Amino acid sequence: MSVEHKRRALITGASSGIGKATALAFAKAGIDVALVSRSLDKLTPVCEAVSHTGVEAKAYEVDLACVAQVQEKMQAIALDGDIDILVNNAGMGYTATLTETPLSDWQQVIDLNLTSVFQCIMGILPSMRTRGTGTIINISSISAKQAFPNWGAYSVSKAGLIALSQTLAQEERAHGIRVTAICPGAVNTELWDTATVNANFDRSKMLTPEIVAQSILHAALLPQQAVIDELTIMPSAGAL
């Protein structure tokens, strides 16, 4: 890394969980951060905590569920400062059998977990291509590779994210852009407390957001001539 260029990362879903932990891990590594969340109230304390490490942190309020607006809003963030690393972390959990999943719920899960990521990438990619460099890290899930009952819509959205990552990697390699898909097992985050998730697991045996954040940082810090295509990280205690 040249002295004159300090890297900047854009992290979605940065107000809590993996996104928040990643923002702090990047900051400790000296990487400036652009933090995106639909809630500015939740994002502000994260921004302040990151700023204490000495890097520049900026908060951006974007509702990624409104997929038609996402590309334009991401382009605006890129105009505010070059994005070297894009971490697509925002997403939602959802549990129901397929027969009990209304079309509107299915669409909501696909929109937020998959289509919004596609639009985030489309917003940031042009500026990365112009500079001939960039790292895109998409947070998928073990459920993309292993089906679990009641997690159908979620699994499909996360499997789609792996296919998106693989296709993007092939298409953008010639432009100097690296793409990584990270597939964590169960992570102890607020996802388990949301209204759309009904599951009773032992959260003490899950991965912590900080462990996943270290994996994301590791992928981002690899020398430019190397890339982690896909990384599966599981809790060693045997949780899913």
Catalytically active residues, by annotation:
154
Mean pLDDT to the nearest integer, 43-51? 94
Share of the chain above pLDDT 90, in %: 92
Mean pLDDT to the nearest integer, 136-158? 97
Q: Kindly report the number of other CB atoms within 10 A of residue 95's CB atom.
A: 18
- The reply to whether 119 falls in a domain is yes
What is the C-alpha to C-alpha distance for residues 50 and 24, in angstroms, rounded to an integer? 6
Closest CA to 195 of 83, 68, 134, 105: 105
Who has greater pLDDT, 50 or 239? 50
pTM of the model: 0.96
Reduced 3-state DSSP string for the chain: CCCCCCCEEEEECCCCHHHHHHHHHHHHCCCEEEEEECCHHHHHHHHHHHHCCCCCEEEEECCCCCHHHHHHHHHHHHHCCCCCEEEECCCCCCCECHHHCCHHHHHHHHHHHHHHHHHHHHHHHHHHHHHCCEEEEEECCHHHCCCCCCEHHHHHHHHHHHHHHHHHHHHHHHHCEEEEEEEECCECCHHHHCCCCCCCCCHHHCECHHHHHHHHHHHHHCCCCCCCCEEEECCCCCCC
- The reply to whether 192 falls in a domain is yes
- Distance of CA 42 to CAs 14, 20, 60, 156, 227, Å? 9, 10, 11, 29, 33
Mean pLDDT to the nearest integer, 7-30? 97
Give the model's confidence band at 13: pLDDT under 50 very low, under 70 low, under 90 confident, else very high.
Answer: very high
pLDDT attached to residue 158: 98
- The reply to whether 184 falls in a domain is yes
pLDDT attached to residue 217: 98
Which CATH number characterizes residue 166's domain? 3.40.50.720
- The reply to whether 31 falls in a domain is no
**Number of separate domains in the chain:** 1
Mean pLDDT to the nearest integer, 61-90? 97
Start-to-end Cα distance in the chain: 37
Residues 6+ apart with CB under 8 A from 240: 142, 148, 185, 186, 201
- The reply to whether 108 falls in a domain is yes
pLDDT attached to residue 201: 85
Given a cut of 80, whether residue 1 has pLDDT beyond it is: no
Residues 6+ apart with CB under 8 A from 165: 136, 138, 140, 179, 180, 181, 230
For 217, the domain range is 66-233
- The reply to whether 20 falls in a domain is no
Given a cut of 60, whether residue 4 has pLDDT beyond it is: no
- The reply to whether 222 falls in a domain is yes
- 79-138: pLDDT as tens digits: 999 999 999 999 999 999 999 999 999 999 999 999 999 999 999 999 999 999 999 999
- The reply to whether 37 falls in a domain is no
Q: Kindly report the number of other CB atoms within 10 A of residue 82's CB atom.
A: 18
Among 169-173, 192-196, 207-211, where is mean pLDDT lowest? 192-196
